[in-house]
Each structure stands twice: as C-alpha cells, then as structure tokens.
C-alpha cells in the first residue's frame, strides 16, 4: 500500500461543481517525495479561470445548501467520518508519502483530523439563536443564525488532512459552500478527502478544490469578488497579513491561524521526567514542523542540566529515515529550503554561545533530513529563540525567577501555544493568567483537541477552530425586532 490507490484515475485534477476535470490549458504541478527529492506524481495546476469557476460553483450551490436540514448536513459529515476511519491506513500512507511524516504520525493526524467531522456532525443540529423580552418590556428580541456564505480556505503542507477538516467540518455543519486551495507541496490528501466527501453524499458545488501554483493571483482574484464572504487561512503570519489586506475592499470575514513561537517552561518544582516526556511530544510531533511546536525551552537554572541530558538521550535515540519505513521515528523536512533554514538557526545559536547536547550535523545522502538536536545555554536573544524553527531542534535557555520566565515567554510577536511544567497549583493559576497565548498546556505536551478552541492572539492570528466556538466562525447573526403583540 502506498496510499496513491486512494485517488481514482481522474482524481489528480480539479474538483469543481462535483466533477473532476483538467486545469484550463492542461497545466500540471509536480508533487515531490521529500524523502529523496523524486517526483511522486503530478496534479492539475489550476488557472485563474478555474478559480472563478470554482467560486461560481460554490455560489450556485449556496442557497440550496443553506436550506438543507441540519441533520442531513451532519449525517454527511458522520458518513465521511466513517469512510475515512475505514481507510485510515491508506490516508496515513498517502500523507506520509507527500509530506514526509512517519506513517504512525500520519495515523495520528487521521484520527485527529477526522474527529472534526464527527464533532461538527454533532454540532450541526445545535445551531440556534435566542429569544428574549426586551429589558424595558414591550418588544421581543429574536436572533437567527445563518451561514456566512461561500468561503475560501487556504491550507498549509504540514497537516494536509487536519488543517482542511478543521475548516471544512464546521463550514459543512453551518451550511456554507467553499473553495479549497491546499498547499501545492501536499495536494494529494485534500484530493482524496474531496473524493470521500462526494461519496458521503455532499451535493455538487458545496466543496470545490483547486490545486494551483499561482497562489498570489488566485487569492487576489477570489478576494476581489464580492460573492466571496469569508476567508479562513492556516499558514505563515506573512501570508496571513497579505490576505487580511486583500480582504479590505470586500470586508470579508476572516479566520487567521498563523505562526507560533511556543515557550516550553520547566520550573524548578516540575517533575523533570514528565517534562521530558512532554517535550518529546511538543517538540517532535511532525518533526517540529507544527505551529504548536515547542520552540523555546525556558528551563530553571537548577534543573537545566538534568533536563538537557535526559532530553538529549531521548532525542539521540530517534531513528531518522523515510516515513513509510518500519522503525523510523523522524521523517524528512518538507524541502531543501527548510533544511537550510533550520541549519542556519543552529549554526547561529552555536556562534552565539550555545553548546550542542546532541545532533546538529547534517546527514549525507538524498532527501531533506535534519537530525534531532538539543542545544543548551542558548542566549535569550539568539535568532533561534525569535523565529519559528519548524524543525527537530530544542534550544534550551535558562531563567532564575518566575517573573523572568513569564517575561521571556511573552517576549515574542507570536501568541499561539505555550507549555508549562510545574507542580505548584498557585503558580499554575498565576502563569495561566499572565501568559499571552491562545492555548496553554499545563504538564502536557499535547494540547490539540477537536473539542477545544484552537487559535492564537497577537501575530498568531484570530478566530478559533474546533470546539463550540469553531462553528461560530461560519455563522452570521440576524436580529429581528418583534412587537409584543
């Protein structure tokens, strides 16, 4: 099994109005295997006309879709949940192939990603407004929830399934139609997902997928169109800002899930072994290529050496290799540029005075590999503490006091995930109230959960995905004033 068998003969094309078709002009886009740099396959490279066709299809389907009974929308999601779960192994292999992560990790992403379909299948039937008497008596106040309308979804390459289902699930539940543009490096999983949703009974035009290399013109064209009502984007802060600017003319609603620079704070009273277990998850999930990845390890001076040695031992025991091979723990990074960027950050940190506990040396041979690396005594202002690393590197910086830890943690433009290890309850409450992040994991290295509101503050964006909050991103509120009668 390599997962490519999930895709039917036409399924490397565009999916518009319920039909698979070639891109206008027949252009194609290569999909590369990050484990060796070879071309795996190719997909349609959509034009701007194709983009508008996709929006036309979404607009044409919107009115009927909004009127579909919520239970029917929920049942489609529930059916898709079942189909994907039955094919979890194929999805995991396909994702591993195009993105590089191990099949075991990809299975984890399938389980996580598909849960958004089950959760929002259950939420579809719980959309409701409210009814109240006006405070002064007399009139009655009624609110109605309506779908926002046609949406544009743009997703990144690091979680090819989950970053799609987090948007598609609530949009379907709310009654919105959509155009999806997956990352051009990992389009295959989204194409497979579109096939499953069609099989589950999603009406033509509700979901349209356009793979394209023309990301800038694509978003400009669709965002200039007044029929597009919402943009939900997951990706880098830089691109997020471009999309926010482009939304101004039509005042589209926005959800922005952007970059992170998560602190992982270990206090002197922490269970160091538990902190190392948590660090392995928070750092190494997805080879460190996660917006929630622990980026800066802030460790109290009294336990820093012990933490570094124990983490170093665990990291050096990991096996690097092709994600589909048995016994591999860490797959390749997404491309050559990613390896160069991680490598440069490590070189600079060493130049700034950090010492290498483990890793740091590029392997030879094909593929975009970087070894699990731990650095100790990284100066707080070293570039590796400022930028998103997006690789398997754990830089450790020490602190002396709680105030200093909080100051260092908050000293970033980002505000997505953060992690804290302590056994002191009063400190836990103080820290949770003073960290400027959308999500805080206490004694836990894994915070993502489809039932919880995922999202950031500051330059990590705005809006929430998952939980009860996630569906609100796809609903408008209409207020109706009624006389008392």
**Catalytic residue positions, numbered:** 257, 291
Cα–Cα distance between 273 and 279 in angstroms, integer?
A: 10
Q: Which residue lies nearest ligand NAP, judged by its C-beta?
A: 235
Q: Which is nearer to ligand NAP, 77 or 416 (CB)?
A: 416
Torsion of CA 28, 33, 38, 41, to 10 degrees: -30
Among 256, 261, 305, 236, smallest CA distance to 153 is for 256
What is the nearest approach in angstroms of ligand NAP to the Cβ of residue 27?
Answer: 14
Q: Which is nearer to ligand NAP, 257 or 277 (CB)?
A: 257
What is the nearest approach in angstroms of ligand NAP to the Cβ of residue 438?
Answer: 9
Q: Which is nearer to ligand NAP, 200 or 345 (CB)?
A: 345
Each residue of 76-110: b (16+ CB within 10 Å) or e?
bbbbbbeebeebeebbbbbbbbbbbbbbebbbbbb
What is the nearest approach in angstroms of ligand NAP to the Cβ of residue 334?
Answer: 8
Q: Which is nearer to ligand NAP, 242 or 446 (CB)?
A: 242
Applying CB under 6 A, the residues found at the interface with ligand NAP are 154-159, 163, 181, 183-185, 213, 215-216, 218-219, 234-236, 239, 242, 257-260, 291, 388, 416, 456
Q: Which is nearer to ligand NAP, 73 or 458 (CB)?
A: 458
What distances in angstroms separate CA 108 from CA 91, 95, 185, 212, 393, one per listed residue?
Answer: 11, 11, 20, 27, 21
Q: Which residue has the tokens 């958004």?
A: 116
Handedness of CA 53, 57, 58, 59 (dihedral sign): positive
What is the nearest approach in angstroms of ligand NAP to the Cβ of residue 269?
Answer: 31
Q: Which is nearer to ligand NAP, 197 or 291 (CB)?
A: 291
For residues 287 and 101, is the Cβ–Cβ distance under 8 A? yes
Among 190, 8, 185, smallest CA distance to 100 is for 185
Which are the contacts of 22, defined by CB distance < 8 A and separation ≥ 6? 13, 14, 44
Each residue of 252-283: b (16+ CB within 10 Å) or e?
bbbbbbbbbbbbbbbbbebebeebbbbbbbbb
What is the nearest approach in angstroms of ligand NAP to the Cβ of residue 68?
Answer: 28
Per-residue tokens: 413 = 């433009």
What is the nearest approach in angstroms of ligand NAP to the Cβ of residue 412?
Answer: 13
CB atoms under 10 Å from CB of 312, counted, come to 22
Q: Which is nearer to ligand NAP, 192 or 308 (CB)?
A: 192
Helix (H/G/I), strand (E/B), else coil: 462: strand
For residue 297, what are the β-bridge partners? Answer: 264, 396
What is the nearest approach in angstroms of ligand NAP to the Cβ of residue 189?
Answer: 13
């Amino acid at each position: 099994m390599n997962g490519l068998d999930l895709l039917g003969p036409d399924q490397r094309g565009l999916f518009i109005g319920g039909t698979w078709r070639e891109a206008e002009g027949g252009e194609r886009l290569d999909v590369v295997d990050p484990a060796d740099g070879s071309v795996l396959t190719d997909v349609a490279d959509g034009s701007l006309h194709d983009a508008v066709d996709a929006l036309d299809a979404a607009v044409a389907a919107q009115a009927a879709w909004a009127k579909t009974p919520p239970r029917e929308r929920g049942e489609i999601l529930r059916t898709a949940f079942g189909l994907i779960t039955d094919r979890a192994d194929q999805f995991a292999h396909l994702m591993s192939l195009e993105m590089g992560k191990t099949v075991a990790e990809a299975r984890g992403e399938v389980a996580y990603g598909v849960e958004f379909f089950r959760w929002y299948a259950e939420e579809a039937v719980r959309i409701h407004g409210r009814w109240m008497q006006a405070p002064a008596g007399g009139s009655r106040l009624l609110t109605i929830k309506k779908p926002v309308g046609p949406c544009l979804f743009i997703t990144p390459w690091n979680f090819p399934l989950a970053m799609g289902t987090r948007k598609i699930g609530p949009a379907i539940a709310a009654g919105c139609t959509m155009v999806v543009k997956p990352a051009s490096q990992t389009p295959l999983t989204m194409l497979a997902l579109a096939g499953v949703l069609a099989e589950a009974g999603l009406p033509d035009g509700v979901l349209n997928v356009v793979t394209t290399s023309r990301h800038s013109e694509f978003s400009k064209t669709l965002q200039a169109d007044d029929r597009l009502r919402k943009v939900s984007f997951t990706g880098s802060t830089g691109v997020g800002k471009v999309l926010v600017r482009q939304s101004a003319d039509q005042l589209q609603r926005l959800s922005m899930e952007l970059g992170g620079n998560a602190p992982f704070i270990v206090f002197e009273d922490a269970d160091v072994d538990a902190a190392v277990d948590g660090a392995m998850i928070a750092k190494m999930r997805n080879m460190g290529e996660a917006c929630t990845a622990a980026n800066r390890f802030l460790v109290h001076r009294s336990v820093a050496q012990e933490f570094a040695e124990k983490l170093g031992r665990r990291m050096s025991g990991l096996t690097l290799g092709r994600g589909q091979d048995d016994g591999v723990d860490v797959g390749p990074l997404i491309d050559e540029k990613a390896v160069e960027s991680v490598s440069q950050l490590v070189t600079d940190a060493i130049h700034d005075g950090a010492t290498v506990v483990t890793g740091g040396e590029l392997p030879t041979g094909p593929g975009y590999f970087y070894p699990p690396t731990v650095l100790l005594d990284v100066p707080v202002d070293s570039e590796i503490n400022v930028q998103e690393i997006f690789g398997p590197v754990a830089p450790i910086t020490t602190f002396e006091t709680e105030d200093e830890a909080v100051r260092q943690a908050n000293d970033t433009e980002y505000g997505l995930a953060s992690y804290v290890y302590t056994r002191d309850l009063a400190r836990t409450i103080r820290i949770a109230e003073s960290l400027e992040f959308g999500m805080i994991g206490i004694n836990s290295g894994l915070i993502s959960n489809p039932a919880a509101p995922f999202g950031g503050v500051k330059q990590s964006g705005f809006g929430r995905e998952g939980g009860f909050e996630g569906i609100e991103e796809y609903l408008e509120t209409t207020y109706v004033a009624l006389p008392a009668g």
